[in-house]
Structure 1
């Protein structure tokens, strides 16, 4: 059974979470959706994964956060901090799960966000990143995307109409063209963060998980398709190497032939095998 709650209100926006409570003092997975911080919503948690994790004894909390370009990354990160704070300090009287025993799982931009939350004061016990990334300063994201520039060029005239200037926490595929435009022009970092990669490098380092690893960073499991054309698999390889180098438990699972959002093909044997490892990893660290 799903229950939707409002965990935060801003001047003009309500931020909601969909809660799937298993009760019985169960561990909790916070899910962070993808969409390049420009589109997407909490509803993107796939039903197949809800069923999988529920069957294995986990409660799930899928949260919204405000979207860019109307809201910039520092405020989005604050939304995520507030979601974690709500879970730990304010959800206990509403549900039967154990709000102190939680991990975070995220996809794409949500995977990046999950990795970044490992560096915050209120940290998860474990992190699962699906085709996420740890670096906002590399050529892969600061330069025009070779992959996306194989597609028809998105014109600036008209694309601005896909975003309306009002803060929002739920964005449909109508906003995708704005993401595509940003990747084709190599301006995603500027549009999402409000900072310039060259001029504001030191500030942006604070938002790069590969530069936020300490000896108390949580254990991490990274999953990535070898043929990902949106987020290069090198992003997960670099994060895995950085974590291992810092003495943090980390493992990278690669999906042969897998592209971006490979987990949409949940019934594929390789994906099923990967998620069995996810389940084992989470049960090891949530106890």
Structure 2
């Protein structure tokens, strides 16, 4: 696959900090300016503390472009200096408002004279891991939700006992000399970062760099079952937990989740599917055989995993 090119948009400014989004445009239609383009927001993973817009699966972007969708891959502020609701969730919701209010159309117009009329009735949200949760957060708590959601193994049910479980496999990889003073340097970062040095999706060979306080901090919290405590200390789960915010008007939702996931157990997604079904929300789920967490980064086009996860994009396309 040839390298995909994007244009940069700024959807939000906090004080003087620009929060940006990579905009990928499909090849323009040949039949004039009447073509309308659905939009899909593709949100990276990273336990709400790591990752960036560069750390997503480019083959999935290419798949969406081939469907004549405009793909937006945003950065957002990273926890823990800002909490989940006021940082990542609010940023993604502000991105959605920016799309609906004409900001995306204006941004595209500053980069190209080609006609890209947006189909604002079909703005979709997609994300992997924490990005899946953020995609789900665009289905509630907003004046105008997205038209459909594709959630790949996103965390939910934040009060579940699992979220306080020690993950021994991760803990065994932590260096023994990580001090609180060192990892807590994340609280002195100014401004709040919108990119973290590694993705949990596994794109970087060799794993995390524990000489970076942010990476060391994040993996320490994951290993010790403290992620929810540090990203949303108030524990007011009704405000942020997707499973507590499903109503009969929630957008159609498709879930993909690895059968062998140990970092976000599949039963959590099955519980979400059950609640969606109870409320009559159009929904579906595909378990992926033999796959653990973060498989999206490394799956190969044409593989069984690739073909099965595409059902999520097919689901969204069926809504158009």
- Indicate whether the TM-score tops 0.5: yes
Deviations 1:225-263 (A, max 9, x none): 111121111111111111011111111111100011212
* Partner SS for 1:92: helix
TM, length-normalised to structure 2: 0.82
| Match status 1:160 vs 2:184 | yes
Q: In structure 2, what is the equivalent of residue 143 of structure 1?
A: 165
Deviation of 1:150 (Å): 4.0
Distance 2:66 2:305 in 1: 17
| Match status 1:179 vs 2:199 | no
Deviation of 1:164 (Å): 4.1
Structure number with larger C-alpha Rg: 2
Q: In structure 1, what is the equivalent of residue 207 of structure 2?
A: none
Matches within 5 A, 1:88-237: 88-89=100-101, 90-95=103-108, 96-98=116-118, 100=120, 101-121=122-142, 122-152=144-174, 155-157=178-180, 158-161=182-185, 164-166=188-190, 167-173=192-198, 174=212, 175-195=214-234, 197=235, 203-237=236-270
Distance 1:186 1:17 in 2: 31
CA contact under 8 A between 1:133 and 1:239: conserved in structure 2? no
Q: In structure 2, what is the equivalent of residue 272 of structure 1?
A: 306
Distance 2:307 2:147 in 1: 23
Distance 1:102 1:42 in 2: 18
| Match status 1:16 vs 2:30 | no
Distance 1:15 1:53 in 2: 23
Between the two proteins, the alignment pairs up a number of residues equal to 280
CA contact under 8 A between 1:162 and 1:177: conserved in structure 2? no
Distance 2:59 2:294 in 1: 13
Call closer, same or farther: CA 1:181–1:97 in 2, change over 3 Å: farther
TM, length-normalised to structure 1: 0.91
* Partner SS for 2:312: helix
* Partner SS for 1:28: strand
Deviation of 1:148 (Å): 2.6
Deviation of 1:183 (Å): 2.0
Distance 1:276 1:79 in 2: 27
Deviations 1:167-224 (A, max 9, x none): 11111124332121112332211211132x4xxxxx2222111110011000111001
Range with bigger deviation, 6-15 or 239-248: 6-15
**2:67 alignment partner, one of 36, 56, 69:** 56
Distance 1:230 1:26 in 2: 35
Deviations 1:13-45 (A, max 9, x none): 210000012254211100111101111111122
* Partner SS for 2:141: coil
Distance 1:275 1:67 in 2: 27
Deviation of 1:85 (Å): 0.6
Deviation of 1:114 (Å): 1.0
CA contact under 8 A between 1:118 and 1:218: conserved in structure 2? yes
Deviation of 1:12 (Å): 4.4
Deviation of 1:138 (Å): 1.1
Q: In structure 1, what is the equivalent of residue 32 of structure 2?
A: none
